[in-house]
Structure 1
Amino acid sequence: MPLAARARQDQLVMVGKLLVITALMFGFGYALVPIYRHICTALGINVLSLSERGGSAAEAAPANTQVDTSRMVTVEFDANARGLWSFKPEVRSLQLHPGQMATVMYDFTNTQPRTLAAQAIASYAPSVAGNYFEKLQCFCFNEYTLKAGESRRWPVVFYVDPKLPRDVTTITLSYTFFEVGGKLPPAPGGGA
């Protein structure tokens, strides 16, 4: 067979192989969605949307099985401010089941005639409660700058871990707001 004819035949074989590979790749890509669904169903991680399952959101929302409905815990809220500003929770206490999520708003007003930077630090009573008090969102995570006379409302989104010892029926969450990077006012009754 002449060299040119041999090269032509090799080229045709190569094109044929490339066409087969292209067809297989297209078929594999096309089959990925059904393969994914079967794998997810087999592994129990079915992540199909509600419309694909044919149900409404209310039917599909599972009950929160982590809430301990057999008992109630009282959470008391306290606010302290080291400085000339107003800081307080909108509610003084609430009752909830361990595992139940709750949101409490805090009001803060800078009553000073200047801009200030401040941050809150949380403490718990009894101290063991701090290990079971889970904050998902809290103003204490960040430092804030407020202009003179500026007011803000901040949420604390939390739940009490159901593993909280049964003898703890009341938790006090106390925040102390400190000025950051500024002068602290003199302690009450202290001389300069």
Structure 2
Amino acid sequence: MENTNTTSFALKLAAVALGMFGFGFAMVPLYDVICDITGLNGKTGDQVVARDDAIDTSREIKVQFIANNNAGMSWEFRPTVRTMTVHPGASYRTDFFARNPTARLMTAQAVPSVTPYYASRYLHKTECFCFEQQQLANGESIDMPLHFVVDRDVPEDVTTLTLAYTLFDVTEQVDVAQVRLNGLN
């Protein structure tokens, strides 16, 4: 009888641990969905197409650009322009510079954040280096383009938007995914 209770308890404990492990994996997509719906964490929406006929020349918005490296990311990463004054509805382009000073091939992923957070739904990227991972060989550098539009419907109290990117080293994750992909072939 005692052996049955121990086995039952061990199975329940294993099920709880497995459930916690699965929930940990589900947190990232759940977090992304919640941020997309609510605009929390300054996540911007999907890629959009700019319309030339919808430019509001009566308003100007200052857009600030910030580049940060996550812990462990050794790339040089910076905006080529720190601020721009834009008209809502007009399409603009700027670049971010990245250089890999290490002695190895590395892959990076940029994650955007917009403040004020409630204005993130009004900043639309039509082309962005953050849409794809960036891979640079040792010593290689690149100017990465960003095309964006500030929506005409941006609230009147928004006079400044800050678009910050954090660059993450995803080399190991890419390597693991490549090994798994090669294992399937």
TM-score normalised by L of structure 2: 0.63
SS of aligned partner of 2:93: strand
Per-residue CA shift, 1:91-138, capped at 9, x if unaligned? 100101100110001110001111111110000010012100010000
Counterparts of 2:66 and 2:118, CA distance in 1: 17
SS at structure 2 position matched to 1:129: helix
Q: Which residue is equivalent to 2:167?
A: 177
Q: Decide which of 68, 76, 79 is 2:67's aligned counterpart.
A: 79
Shift of 1:65: 3.1
Tell me, in whole angstroms, the C-alpha distance in 2 between the residues paired with 1:163 and 1:133.
Answer: 10
- The whole-number CA distance in structure 1 between the counterparts of 2:93 and 2:52 is 17
Match of 1:127 in 2: 117
Give % identity.
40
Partner in structure 1 of residue 56 of structure 2: 68
Divergent runs of 4+, >4 A: none
Residue of structure 2 in register with 1:168 after alignment = 158
Cα deviation digits, residues 49-84 of structure 1 (max 9, x gap): xxxxxxxxxxxxxx9331111110000000001211
Matching of residue 112 in structure 1 with residue 98 in structure 2 = no
1:88 corresponds to which of 78, 92, 95: 78
| TM-superposed deviation, 1:168 | 0.4
- Aligned residue in 2 for 1:103: 93
Higher relative contact order (CA 8 A, sep 6+): 2
Instruction: Quote the residue 1:29 is aligned against.
Output: none
> Which consecutive residues of structure 2, in runs of 5 or more, have no partner in the other structure?
1-50, 174-185
CA distance in 2, matches of 1:88, 1:114: 20
Distance, in Å, in 2 between the alignment partners of 1:67 and 1:137 is 19
Name 1:186's counterpart in structure 2.
Answer: none
Contiguous gaps of at least 5 residues in structure 1: 1-62, 184-192
Q: Distance in 1 between matches of 2:80 and 2:59?
A: 24
Instruction: Note the aligned Cα RMSD (angstroms).
Output: 1.5
TM-score by length of 1: 0.61
1:154 matched residue in structure 2 = 144
